[in-house]
Amino acid sequence: GDARAADPARHGVYAAALTAIEGLRISDCLLAYAPPCQEQSRFDRAWAEICGEVDRQLAILQRSLVKAGASTEELQEKHGCWIRPGAGDLATSRDVANKAIRALMMQITEDVDIARLTSWAAVRQPVPLLPPMAPASSPWLSYPAAFSPPGACDMFGLAADTFWPSDEPPAPWRDVSGLFSMFPSVDTALRRLQRRGIDLSRFVVNLGAANGACGWGSLYDPANCLLRDRSYNATGIVFEGDEVGLARLRRLYGRSSRVHLRAGFTTPRMATRDVLSVMPHSGDIDLLKVDVDNCDVCFVEAMLQAGVRPKFIHVEITDYVPPDLEARMPFNGRLMGQNACGPLGECMCGSLGAFLHAASGYRLYYVEFVNAVLVRADLYEHVAAGPQLSEDELWRLGWLCNPLRTVTVWTHTTIFRRGGLDVTATMDSKVPVVERRRLVEDLFPDKAARREYSVSVRQLGG
């Protein structure tokens, strides 16, 4: 989890390990589609490029990571990259590659203090008791440049405190990826607004509260964190349809006078009605957070059209679609209460571009892996700091260039990869936007034909 803000002395080791791991994953995919699935000459060129990069990175690691030596030596004895170009049994190559990946992951995470993590889990603190964020001079890791669209991540050798206001020190926190973030968390940004003289309503809306937990990684939920933070003294309304999560939410808020609990699945119209019935009359709430996996952008639209004006909007996005495209599916009432998203995750939240189009009067604050944070335009100058990046740059920094983009198992991109489909081309700005629009639309051709899925080009802002 510490790797993105790594110890400067080990930055090269982290970068080499992550590049080698990704190269081995790509080689596994490439070998699975070896000739006759594709032209031999094309395969040979790609194979030589990928394997050459893996070999270069392993040479760096073998000088630095003694404990990983046995696994990497076996890799070079049995993997197709070293036997001869394109050779090697797929199962054997995959087995030795997985062993090497595990060994490398153990090496690059050996600094994590397991005792402190265990202590944090026991007392359920919102931020784990880990060493402080790396100093400002420490460069942050990104997805391997060797496997990125050309130039996509070149500008992101940024320091750990790049986007923090100069008058306050960084407060370490881990976002949904599990890595330390270089941006302020939502609660930090809200407190900054208060220091700037902006009144806080201390009212929060959480559509998809799960079990009410405030943690990090997949458990990070800014709305839950605000509601659990006694110093913030928040009120609000939470929605959850899953019975497992509801059991804990009922224990937390079943008798609460400050948090309204809505049990069961809902629609954009019903959720908006419920929010309007309990929110401050001004509509100026602090946070709207949406994660329902069923046209999340429809919920944002309904709330804003009804006059709800949150200071911040926190949403899950369809990660592989860049902000110059709007991709969305309509709300589907048939999916309420069902795990019916299909093997490729056909329950679409909405792309970043779709949310930016729907949220008129808002600006993109940052992209937090598979989530995005929008801030009301009249408040942007109070919380913005560091270089003013465009929407595309913020998306690339937060998602495309995140070192865990193809590693974390629950992202849309890795779901497609497990299905045998690499969606990287949809994210490559060198590919004309009209062509990328067609590629994104072709992911769900049946839905597009039934007008249950639309993809359009939008003008970038920011």
Q: What is the pLDDT of residue 95?
A: 81
Q: What is the pLDDT of residue 277?
A: 95
CA distance 8 to 383: 28
Phi-psi domain of 233 (left: phi exceeds 0; alpha: psi -120 through 50; beta: other): left
C-alpha dihedral, 284 to 290 to 294 to 297, nearest 10°: 50
Q: Which residues pair with 456 in a beta bridge?
A: 326
Residue 292 in tokens = 């329902």
Pick the closest to residue 88 from 27, 160, 17, 179 (CA basis). Answer: 27
Whether 47 shows a pLDDT value over 80: the answer reads: yes
Q: Which residues pair with 375 in a beta bridge?
A: 312, 363
Least confident of 112-116, 142-146, 195-199: 112-116
Q: What is the pLDDT of residue 77?
A: 78
Single-letter amino acid code for the residue at 410: W
pLDDT band of residue 338 (cuts 50, 70, 90) is: low
134, 7 Cβ separation under 8 angstroms = yes
Whether 2 shows a pLDDT value over 70: the answer reads: no
Question: How many residues are listed for the chain in this entry?
Answer: 462
Whether 373 shows a pLDDT value over 70: the answer reads: yes
CA distance 334 to 315: 22
What is the chain's mean pLDDT, rounded? 82
Pairing of strands 371-376, 312-316: antiparallel
CA distance 188 to 365: 13
pLDDT band of residue 38 (cuts 50, 70, 90) is: confident
CA distances from 419 to 30, 31, 416 (A): 14, 15, 5
Q: What is the pLDDT of residue 70?
A: 56
CA distance 89 to 100: 17
Looking at per-residue pLDDT, the higher value among 217 and 18 belongs to 18
108, 17 Cβ separation under 8 angstroms = yes
Single-letter amino acid code for the residue at 317: I
Please state the pTM of the whole predicted model.
Answer: 0.86
CA distance 228 to 205: 13
Tell me the per-residue pLDDT of 76-118, one tens digit each, with 9 for 90 and over.
778 888 776 555 567 777 788 878 777 777 666 554 444 443 4
The three-class DSSP label of residue 402 is: coil
Q: Which residues pair with 367 in a beta bridge?
A: 372
Segment (H or E) for 427:
none
Most confident by average pLDDT, 45-49, 54-58, 266-270: 266-270
Whether 395 shows a pLDDT value over 50: the answer reads: yes
Looking at per-residue pLDDT, the higher value among 293 and 310 belongs to 310
CA distance 117 to 1: 11
CA distance 406 to 117: 25
3-class SS string, 88-135: CCHHHHHHHHHHHHHHHHHHHCCCCCHHHHHHHHHHCCCCCCCCCCCC
Tell me the per-residue pLDDT of 396-417, one tens digit each, with 9 for 90 and over.
989 988 888 887 777 888 888 7
pLDDT band of residue 37 (cuts 50, 70, 90) is: confident
Pick the closest to residue 311 from 365, 266, 261, 349 (CA basis). Answer: 365
With pLDDT > 70 as the criterion, what percentage of the chain qualifies? 82
CA distance 325 to 282: 33
Whether 9 shows a pLDDT value over 70: the answer reads: no
237, 260 Cβ separation under 8 angstroms = yes
Pairing of strands 287-290, 312-316: parallel
Residue whose tokens read 């760096």:
60
C-alpha dihedral, 5 to 10 to 16 to 20, nearest 10°: -80
Q: What is the pLDDT of residue 315?
A: 97
Q: What is the pLDDT of residue 8?
A: 57
Q: What is the pLDDT of residue 257?
A: 86
Q: What is the pLDDT of residue 114?
A: 41
Looking at per-residue pLDDT, the higher value among 159 and 370 belongs to 370
Q: What is the pLDDT of residue 188?
A: 92
Residue 380 in tokens = 């942007």
With pLDDT > 90 as the criterion, what percentage of the chain qualifies? 37
CA distance 46 to 9: 32
CA distances from 393 to 176, 355, 390 (A): 19, 17, 5
pLDDT band of residue 127 (cuts 50, 70, 90) is: very low
Q: What integer is the mean pLDDT of 419-430?
A: 82
Looking at per-residue pLDDT, the higher value among 219 and 225 belongs to 225
Main-chain dihedrals φ then ψ at residue 180, nearest 5 degrees: -60, 140
CA distance 262 to 256: 12
R_g over Cα of the chain: 23
Looking at per-residue pLDDT, the higher value among 337 and 227 belongs to 227
Residue whose tokens read 């592989």:
320
